[in-house]
Amino acid sequence: MSATAPTSVLTIAPVIPVVVIDDAVQAVPMARALVRGGLTAIEITLRTAAGLDAIRAVRDEVPDAVVGAGTVVRAGDPARAVEAGARFLVSPGWSEGLLDAMRATGVPFLPGVSTVSEVVRLLELGVDELKFFPAEAAGGTAYLKSLASPLPQARFCPTGGITPASAPSYLALPNVACVGGSWMVPADALAAGDWARVEKLAAEAASLG
Ligand code: 3PG
C-alpha cells in the first residue's frame, strides 16, 4: 500500500478510470498500465463477480495505485470492499443505510446523486463530496453549472457518458474536482490484454487533468 491514505476521493486524481473487469487475472497488468500512463486512482466496480478479487490483487501487487471500489450498492459492499483493499468507495446512488455503511468503514466515499434535492439532503447529512451520475444523461455540464451558485459547498466527481472530448469542460467547472469514466479501459482491450493501448489511453486521460 502507498504511504498516505486518501482522506477525500476528490483529491486523489483529476481523472479516475472506472473499471468493469470479468477476470481478476487482468487486474494487475491493467493497473500497472494505468499507473504507467499516469493514472494512479483506479475504481474497480463491484458489478462483476471478479471485482473484489481484482481489488485485492491490485492492493497486493501494485503499490503505486490507489485502488477503490465502485458500484457499491448493497449494505455489505463497503465492508467487503475495504477488507479486500479498497481505499475509497463510490456508489451510483445512495440510501441512508448505504451511507451509514460507507461511513463506518472510515475510508473516503462518494454517494451518487442526480437531483438537487438529493444534494440538499446529503448536505444536511454532512456529505458535501458527491458523484454526479449519470452525468451526461442527467444534464451534463449545464446542470452542474446551475448548482454552483445555490449550492457552492457541494463538490462533484461526474461520471457516466464522459469522453476525452467532454472531460475538460467538466473539469473547468468550479464545483467539479475530478471526472470518472470507463473509456481508458475498453472491454476489448481488457479481453485482449492490450496493455499498451490501456497505457496510451491512460496517458491521454492523465493529460486532461
Ligand atoms: C459507471 O459507473 O459506469 C461510470 O460512471 C462510468 O460510466 P461510463 O462507462 O459512461 O464512462
**What percentage of the chain carries pLDDT values higher than 90?**
95
* Residue of 16, 44, 159 with the most ligand 1 atoms within 8 Å of its CB, for mutation: 159
pLDDT of residue 203: 97
User: How would residue 3 be classed by pLDDT, with cut points 50, 70 and 90?
Assistant: very low
Give the residue numbers marked as catalytic. 43, 131
Mean pLDDT of 118-144: 98
Average pLDDT over the chain, rounded to an integer: 96
What is the number of H-type helices and E-type strands within the chain? 9, 9
With a 6 A CB cut-off, is 160 part of the ligand 1 pocket?
yes
- The tens digit of pLDDT for each residue in 71-130 reads 999 999 999 999 999 999 999 999 999 999 999 999 999 999 999 999 999 999 999 999
Alpha-carbon distance 133 to 155, whole Å?
13
**Radius of gyration in angstroms for the set of CA atoms belonging to the chain, rounded to a whole number:** 16
Atom of ligand 1 nearest to the CA of 45: 2
pLDDT of residue 6: 87
* Residue of 15, 16, 18 with the most ligand 1 atoms within 8 Å of its CB, for mutation: 18
pLDDT of 30 above 90: yes
Q: Which of the 8 DSSP states describes residue 2?
A: -
Measured in degrees and rounded to the nearest 5, phi and psi for residue 184 equal: -75, -15
Mean pLDDT of 196-205: 98
**In the Cβ-directed half-sphere of 132, how many Cα atoms lie within 13 Å?**
32
Contact (CB, 8 A) for 151 and 116: yes
The amino acid occupying position 31 is A
pLDDT of 148 above 90: yes
pLDDT of residue 1: 47
In whole angstroms, how far apart are CA 73 and each of 29, 68, 123, 143, 199?
27, 14, 20, 24, 29
DSSP class per residue in 84-150: HT-SSEE-SS--HHHHHHHHHH-S-EE-EE-SHHHHHHHHHTT--EEEETTTTTTTHHHHHHHHHTT
Q: Please give the grid coordinates belonging to residue 158.
A: 461526474
Contact (CB, 8 A) for 105 and 79: yes
Task: Report the nearest-CA residue for atom 1 of ligand 1.
Answer: 160
With a 6 A CB cut-off, is 93 part of the ligand 1 pocket?
no
pLDDT of residue 209: 83
Mean pLDDT of 61-76: 97
pLDDT of 5 above 90: no
Atom of ligand 1 nearest to the CA of 162: 11
The region, left, alpha or beta by phi > 0 then psi within -120 to 50, assigned to residue 71 is: left
Report the separation in Å between the CA atom of 197 and the middle of ligand 1, taken as the mean of its atom positions. Answer: 19
Inter-helix orientation angle 27-37/51-61, to 10°: 60
- The tens digit of pLDDT for each residue in 179-193 reads 999 999 999 999 999
